[in-house]
Amino acid sequence: ASANIGVVGLAVMGSNLARNLASREGNTVAIFNRSHAKTEALLAEHPEAGFVPTASYAEFAASLQKPRTAIIMVKAGVPTDAVIQSLVDVFEPGDIIVDGGNAYFPDTIRREKAVRETGINFVGAGISGGEEGALLGPSIMPGGSDESWVTLGPILRSIAAIAEGEPCVTHVGHDGAGHFVKMVHNGIEYADMQLIAEAYDLIRRGTGKTPAEIADIFAEWNRGELESYLIEITAEVLRQIDAETGQPLVDIIVDQAGAKGTGAWTVQTALALGVPVSGIAEATFARSLSSHPEQRAVAAGLPGPEDEFEVEDTDAFIEDVRLALFASKIVAYSQGFDEIRAGAAEYDWQIDLGAISKIWRGGCIIRAQFLNRIADAYAAEPELPALLTAPYFADALSRGQAAWRRVVIAAAQAGIPAPAFSSSLSYYDGIRAERLPAALVQGQRDFFGAHTYKRIDKEGTFHTLWSGDRTEIEAEDTH
Ligand code: NDP
């Protein structure tokens, strides 16, 4: 046994992760792939990595020092289950199996439970950063037992991205905690992308600026409080000219956004937990709306506003959009962290929200300056009930709210869809409202379903005899 770590699954993510591992001091990496040709190709292309190639699961297990540690990077779903079973067959108690794929967290909870019965440790680890992150340093969100973290921690720390001197990895919590947090990361990523897209659309249609000019605006924004990987790549995409037509590439790409499901998982889970992640939901639905060309073709004839959209003061409008983007982004992150907090409570995970914001500062798709402010907020108040109420964010919202309202009004008047901007503003106004029309909803519920209500002026649970004489009685709580 000559390797201290192994990788199963040598497609783009697995081979890059294996190369990353091999490049770190002290690591010898065993590699295995179902079709052996990929193993041989990786070995031939990267002789410098000193890989230990293996042609069967038994050989793979024999090449690993104990406790054996293997990271699986294969297709999520059934393939992952198949590979886990194959490893369980050849591993021994105390060994560690890590699933680095994009698993749905309930699957990870199930797998951890099943594997644990064999005495083998199972760790679901969310890995973000795409191909480049896997090679140069991803953000890693591992779950699993404390015991497995003792062996795995130093290995993962050695390959993770570094942000401000700290590796972008932390032991998130037990069983599915890592994949849960990775899921919410992706949900926030959806919201962040949609908000940027709405900002672009409003500026383009409101000012007539070209994509290249808007690229300059994003590049400028990237030097301020919006500084982030997504703003940076947005400028790159907008600047790109299609070689074939000479047009901006963004005008050539079909306007239908795909999705691999993690946004939908984030929203489904939030619905089950009762957490309003409206920004993430709108971003997910915006992709769905874009992807129905048959409906869009029929609906394209529906009327919009009569007046042309014309912005009077271009610079002021662009600054308004920037402020609206920042405010909406605060809402999206606040909602995402709310979901993590609720998930931790539901599944009994001890998740340090400040540590999560820190490991997202490097390697992953939502990496941004902004995450330092989130870390500060949780350092100052670990039990912060809503991120957007932390002083830095509350101040940014207060600075931006007037602009935010102007932008949402402008979008509505111009007939430009801005679902994430406007739902984020509604969330802000909802969460800060002293009184909500939920009182009326509860009254309606009591009317048709005797669902009862509480009173603002005394303890207890009440029901009005709506179909009788409409007097009020004390009732059992059936909220
Ligand atoms: P793919 O998701 O395309 O998976 C291909 C790999 O899975 C190949 O090694 C393939 O082996 C193996 N595989 C498929 N079915 C089986 C099976 N039944 N038994 C054994 N092996 C099987 O690869 P990626 O590198 O794109 O992604 C790997 C994982 O990482 C996925 O879970 C993905 O969701 C996740 N991920 C991907 C990111 C990305 O940017 N691509 C980012 C973050 C996570 P063979 O060569 O024999 O077909």
pLDDT digits (tens, 9 = 90+) for 28-42: 999 999 999 999 999
Q: Strands, E, within 411-479: which ranges?
A: 462-464, 472-474
pLDDT for res 361: 97
Coil vs helix vs strand at 114: helix
Encode pLDDT of 93-142 as tens digits: 999 999 999 999 999 999 999 999 999 999 999 999 999 999 999 999 99
Kindly give the number of the ligand 1 atom that is closest to the alpha carbon of 74. 7
Is 161 annotated to bind a ligand? Reply is: no
pLDDT of residue 476 exceeding 90: no
Is 329 annotated to bind a ligand? Reply is: no
Kindly give the number of the ligand 1 atom that is closest to the alpha carbon of 38. 46
pLDDT for res 453: 97
How much distance in Å is there from the Cα of 175 to the middle of ligand 1?
A: 21
pLDDT of residue 222 exceeding 70: yes
Rounded to an integer, the average pLDDT of 432-451 is 98
pLDDT for res 400: 97
Is 224 annotated to bind a ligand? Reply is: no
Coil vs helix vs strand at 453: strand
Is 34 annotated to bind a ligand? Reply is: yes
Query: Ligand 1: which residue has its CA nearest to atom 39?
Result: 130
Mutation test residue for ligand 1: of 73, 135, 233, the one with most atoms within 8 Å of CB: 73
CB contact at 8 A, 354 and 375: yes
How much distance in Å is there from the Cα of 102 to the middle of ligand 1?
A: 9
Tell me the Cα Rg of the chain.
Answer: 25
Q: Report the C-alpha gap between 395 and 262 in whole angstroms.
A: 31
Is 27 annotated to bind a ligand? Reply is: no
Q: Report the C-alpha gap between 456 and 155 in whole angstroms.
A: 56
Query: Ligand 1: which residue has its CA nearest to atom 40?
Result: 130
pTM of the model: 0.96
pLDDT for res 1: 78
Encode pLDDT of 58-87 as tens digits: 999 999 999 999 999 999 999 999 999 999
Is 130 annotated to bind a ligand? Reply is: yes
Q: Is the dihedral of CA 235, 140, 46, 84 positive or negative?
A: negative
- The first and second tokens of residue 207, run together, are 């000012």
pLDDT for res 478: 63
40 catalytic residue (yes or no): no
How much distance in Å is there from the Cα of 7 to the middle of ligand 1?
A: 12
Query: Which residue out of 112, 189, 282, 339 is catalytically annotated?
Result: 189
pLDDT for res 479: 59
Encode pLDDT of 145-174 as tens digits: 999 999 999 999 999 999 999 999 999 999
189 catalytic residue (yes or no): yes
How much distance in Å is there from the Cα of 129 to the middle of ligand 1?
A: 15
Residue percentage of the chain with pLDDT more than 70: 99
What b/e readout covers 152-164, taking b as 16+ CB neighbours within 10 angstroms? bbebbbbbbbebe
Q: Tokens 């050695």: give the residue.
A: 158
Query: Which residue out of 112, 182, 329, 339 is catalytically annotated?
Result: 182
How much distance in Å is there from the Cα of 71 to the middle of ligand 1?
A: 12
CB atoms inside a 10 Å sphere around CB 117: 8
How much distance in Å is there from the Cα of 340 to the middle of ligand 1?
A: 26
pLDDT of residue 308 exceeding 90: no
Q: Report the C-alpha gap between 190 and 187 in whole angstroms.
A: 5
Encode pLDDT of 320-371 as tens digits: 999 999 999 999 999 999 999 999 999 999 999 999 999 999 999 999 989 9
What's the gap between Cα 57 and its chain centre? 33
Query: Ligand 1: which residue has its CA nearest to atom 16?
Result: 79
pLDDT of residue 452 exceeding 90: yes
Residues pairing with 166 in the sheet = 163
Encode pLDDT of 381-431 as tens digits: 999 999 999 999 999 999 999 999 999 999 999 999 999 999 999 999 999
Show the CA angle centred on residue 277, arms to residues 276 and 281, nearest 5°.
120
CB contact at 8 A, 27 and 49: no
pLDDT for res 158: 95
ipTM over 0.90: yes
Kindly give the number of the ligand 1 atom that is closest to the alpha carbon of 34. 47
Omega into 437 within 30° of 0, i.e. cis? no
Q: Report the C-alpha gap between 324 and 418 in whole angstroms.
A: 11
- The first and second tokens of residue 465, run together, are 């005899």
Mutation test residue for ligand 1: of 34, 54, 107, 127, the one with most atoms within 8 Å of CB: 34
- Kind plus residue range of the DSSP H or E element containing 200: helix 177-207
As for ligand 1, residues whose beta carbon falls within 6 Å of it are: 9-14, 33-35, 38, 73-76, 79, 82-83, 101-102, 127, 130-131
Q: Report the C-alpha gap between 280 and 200 in whole angstroms.
A: 18
pLDDT of residue 23 exceeding 70: yes
